[in-house]
Amino acid sequence: MTDSYSQPSREWWAQRWIDVLESFGWIRRLARARTYAREGNVLSLEFEGAKVTAAVQGTAPEPYQVSLSLDPFSDEQWSYVVESMAERAIFSAKLLAGEMPQNIEDVFTANGLSLFPFNKFDIHSRCSCPDPANPCKHIGAVYYLLGDRFSEDPFVLFQLRGRTKEQIIADLRQIRGAGDAISAERNSDGTAAPSSDQNVSVSKTPRPTPLNCDRFWEYQEQLEPSLIVITPPPTSETILDVLGSIPLKADAAETQAVMEYFKAVYQVASMKAVQTAMSTES
């Protein structure tokens, strides 16, 4: 059976959401959740600000209540992000048209943020079912339905981080409008029009310093911590997916078992590496 949650026709940002969640090592736990999502067990999905609430039908007569949220960005963080978006005309054009730019994550990464969950601790979810596991299949079903909602409206992803579609569009238009007003004050030849009481001075462009190839890779200053951004892998693929199957002297079933084992090891190692990098003090 074709898994409707791995179709290449899904919008890239919706599939990225699913790939990030599955990269946290929840693949087996989310298998039943995909079935719940496909079969329509999520009866309702609503937003209360940046928080998601849902009713999911399980084995009990009454549906279970699920809540989910991400860590929201502060107003200051969002102001930096929106300014970065406004600086790139293609980003503004696509967002104002209701589309998600392909490299939108770069804007958040450049500001030390991650649009998608950075790790499993970035997601806060609860379910009224008796299953102690988190995510349970009811929470997992909501994950997949959110992916569908992202395909319909990419701004829902921003809303989980604390900004609505209306707020982002209004901020973009305000910043872009201010830029257009400044451009309108320029002369027809593109130069700035000085006021009558302004002294105009012309300076020559300084000559560039010749490149010293012997010292190109040297940097003696302390790196700024805010410029170092650790992000999870863009997909759940490992080096095994790139190299292909290992030619083992075993039958197909045994070879597949070994490959699955190594893939799980690589995924755990990747996750541990990110967690170690985040916890290491400078």
Q: Which domain holds residue 275?
A: 237-279
- Give the model confidence (pLDDT) of 93-120 as tens digits: 887 777 778 788 888 988 899 888 888 8
- Give the model confidence (pLDDT) of 244-262 as tens digits: 667 777 777 777 788 778 8
Residue 222 pLDDT: 65
- Give the model confidence (pLDDT) of 113-143 as tens digits: 988 888 888 899 999 999 998 999 999 999 9
Answer for the pair 104, 33: CB distance below 8 angstroms, yes or no.
Answer: no
**3 state SS of 137:** helix
In a domain, 187, yes or no: no
Q: 248 and 145 share a domain? A: no
Q: What is the number of domains present in the chain?
A: 2
In a domain, 192, yes or no: no
In a domain, 188, yes or no: no
Instruction: From 127, 149, 174, give the residue that closes a domain.
Output: 174
Nearest to 5 by CA among 123, 57, 16, 125: 16
Answer for the pair 11, 149: CB distance below 8 angstroms, yes or no.
Answer: no
pTM above the 0.85 mark? no
First to last CA, the chain: 49
Instruction: From 174, 189, 222, give the residue that closes a domain.
Output: 174
d(CA 138, CA 58): 7
DSSP assignment letter at 192: B
